[in-house]
Amino acid sequence: MVSKSVTILNQVGLHAKAATLFIQKANEFKASIWVEKDARRVNAKSLLGILSLGITRGTEIVLSAEGTDEAEAVSALCMLISDGVCE
């Protein structure tokens, strides 16, 4: 299992449009991927799960993945967030 913390820096956090882009990227990988905020953990491939976390600007989340392409999945999702694509 690979895990990495990342802080959401865009203005509105992972709102519906950004969450959709995030989920589309997560679905490119075979690994099981989770997003953790506070004590809650949801499937990174679930729109309702992501939106239920209420991820806003400045929120620190933990991305975790387990599977054959786990490292690539976490790296790609962290890059998506840090590049501001999820705006």
- The answer to whether residue 38 is catalytic is no
Query: Mean of the pLDDT values across residues 8-26?
Result: 90
**Separation between Cα atoms, residue 28 and residue 65, nearest integer Å:** 13
What pLDDT sits at residue 53? Answer: 96
Average pLDDT over residues 16-41: 95
Domains of the chain, start order:
2-82 (3.30.1340.10)
Written as six digits, the tokens of 24 are 């589309």
pTM score: 0.92
pLDDT of residue 76: 97
Q: Note the pLDDT of residue 87.
A: 55
Collapse the DSSP code of 62 into the 3-class scheme (helix H, G, I; strand E, B; otherwise coil) and give the result.
strand
Q: Residue 86's pLDDT is what?
A: 57
Catalytic residue among 4, 9, 15, 72: 15
Per-residue pLDDT reduced to its tens digit, 29-79: 999 999 999 999 999 999 999 999 999 989 999 999 999 999 999 999 999
Which of 53, 51, 73, 48 is closest to 63 using CA atoms?
73
Q: Which amino acid belongs to residue 52?
A: S
